[in-house]
Structure 1
Amino acid sequence: MDYEQAGELKIGQVGIANLRIRTMDVERLVQEMNERVNRAPKLFGRAAVILDFGGLSRTPDVASAKALLDGLRGAGVLPVALAYGTSEIELLSQQLGLPLLAKFRAQYERADAEPAPPRAAPAAAPAREPRRAAPAAAALAAAPAPGEAPKPGRMQLANVRSGQQLYAENCDLTVMGTVGAGAEVIADGSIHIYGTLRGRALAGAQGNTAARIFCRDFHAELVAIAGHYKVLDDVPDNLRGKAVQVWLEQDQIKIAALD
């Protein structure tokens, strides 16, 4: 008997856009998506999109959700799944005939985590200032616990060619060569590129807002930090071809030339 599989199924890291719905205004959502596709058709045209209704106070009804799906398809993107696995969303995903991807739930739970309660100080210890609210758990994961050896970053010596995707889990990513157009590099930490960046770079993939992107020759199709993104068309001309750093400040992507 031939036991070789006709199709080999593998689970991997996929850079799929996640649309977090904040207001269930179908017309406005479709208009915003249409503007994104028109501004960067090579990036967003026929792009797979996951819909996240977890930011709404109530789960939308089936008719509204179907109207949104149809509108987004008309705008040029392809909704492929729902995110955030509450029981109501799970039922909605079944009614819409879409899969439920719970992996996106963890990112928002980390970002919205409540501050950890302060530990009781020993009786003899002097009084301390009140603790600040704990940052996102994803950001905490970037710092090793006391006595724990830090996880080494991932290093890529060769160029990252068009169509390739590189992911550095729970660490920084260093690319010694070029990231070609159509290529994608992703890291839970920061990204350092010593060659030209022409493709996409997504740092802080699990919600680390302190992550940064550094490159010597900036021509990126898209850069993102903790889900916030900027496309090349939105970048000033005087930064293209320069050595730059990219960071997140008050939920806005900032790009500046390196001296």
Structure 2
Amino acid sequence: MRRALAATLALALGSAPLGVLLTLRRMSLVGDALAHAVLPGVAVGFLLAGLSLPALSLGGFIAGVVVVLGAAWVSRFTDLKEDASFAAGYLIALAVGVLLISSHGTQLDLLHILFGNILGVDRDGLVLVAGVASVTLLAMAVLYRAFLLESFDPGYLRSMSGAGGLYQVVFLLLVVANLVAAFQVMGTLMAVGLMMLPAVSARLWHAMLPAQLLNAAAQAVVAGYAGLLVSFHADLPSGPVIVMCSGALYAVSLLLAPQGWRGNRRRAAMPPL
């Protein structure tokens, strides 16, 4: 439980701020697409080395990078938009990964990879998650202004530095790395939960980006801690319960946040000037 809690908190601090930037770029579903896109690489790593953490992580990262570069190439040289190319890539990758694992493994192996086993996180898994979270926070601190410009006005960033595309690739690689780390904890199907739900909730509370980043990280930490406690005492799978706790915070935000239902009702009730 101590390792599971440490891994969950590290994952929350590293992935939730990335989710905020994804929502700003209107790429919320790209996180879900990339979470599924790592599956064929994980499957190949499983076939070659079994449930070996380095093999699964390296395979998942390579698969995610291939999908990112492939989607970028398709959107650049064809009429398809980036979201459509990501959707096509993730569907193909998900199907290939499930087929590979199903044909060469057991149902337990498939369930372990799809839904994770947070209570089975060992020392190596904890080091991986903590390392990815540390690199992510450091990269966001160093490249914060570039990520901000690339999110709001990528054309201006390209005209000023000519490296807008490079920052986009670096950002997506950070997303892939966090999803690979999250799959060790929550599985490929649940990995995106702590990344996107707190980020969407945070946008309902704040208009300023720094406040959204802090709020998203705080909500992810609370959801991870509460989800572990509930799953332990109720004897339920930890990954889905953590995501459900994030969903509960999202529901509260929809009702009470300034940009949610209550805030909109208050603004609608105000008399016009």
Normalising by the smaller structure, the TM-score range is under 0.3
TM-score w.r.t. length of structure 1: 0.27
Larger relative contact order (CA 8 Å, sep ≥ 6): 2
* TM-score, with structure 2 as normaliser: 0.26
Query: More helix per residue: 1 or 2?
Result: 2
Q: State the structure with more CA Rg.
A: 1
